[in-house]
Amino acid sequence: MVILFDLDGTLTDSGEGITKCAQLALNYFGIHIEDRMQLRCFVGPPLRESFPKFGVPENRVEEAITVFRSRYLTVGKFENVPYPGIETLLQTLKEQGHRLYVATSKPESTAVEILNKFELSKYFIRICGASMDSGRDSKEAVIAYLLELEGRAQKTVMVGDTAFDVIGAAAHKIPTIGVSWGYGDVDEMRSSGACAIANTPEELCNLLMQEAEKA
């Protein structure tokens, strides 16, 4: 079975770095959000979709992204840690013969760097992410890119923590198992069509085994 993993909020807890960088970029526009918990919604979705929700004018979104990345690409990307149990999960799935990929809306080069730092890259056949321009930044577009490169397997499952993962995978008729430990809303994932919700990596492993048996 082919398993596509989201990165932020699914494999690693990247909230500290992302929210601090979002706060910096919003401050640049005179938009002051003191409570970084309000910026958790920046974890996962494309930045181009998130900044306008906080009042950044559409014609200045690219400027906001530049400010965000000025901190993120030097400091913020390392304010990040794998969730407990994730490496054991990946090791188990790979040993079982599943083909593992990453499909993230984070820029691909940054995703590779982060997974290399945590020595998780070895579990994945390919790490696919967004391009640095706006040409490929949605989950749907990233998955389309991955399928174009790798071809489509008979049985493929997405694993992610937000409705964006569910919707992006559904565009390619790929079911999604949501995880509750990330930054998305479980009810939104369910209403968007998630086939199941896992509360721990161990539970996720069991759900993936059940999906594999359906193949």
Q: Which residues are catalytic?
A: 6
Indicate the helix (H) or strand (E) that contains 145.
helix 139-150
Tokens of 207: 């759900």
Half-sphere exposure of 111 (CA within 13 A, CB side): 25
CB neighbours of 96 closer than 8 A, spacing ≥ 6? 209, 212
SS (H, E, C) 15-28: HHHHHHHHHHHHHH
CA 76/CA 83 separation, integer angstroms? 17
DSSP code for 8:
B
Q: What's the CA dihedral at 100, 98, 160, 105 to 10 degrees?
A: 20
Distance set, CA 5 to CA 12, 30, 145 (Å): 11, 36, 14
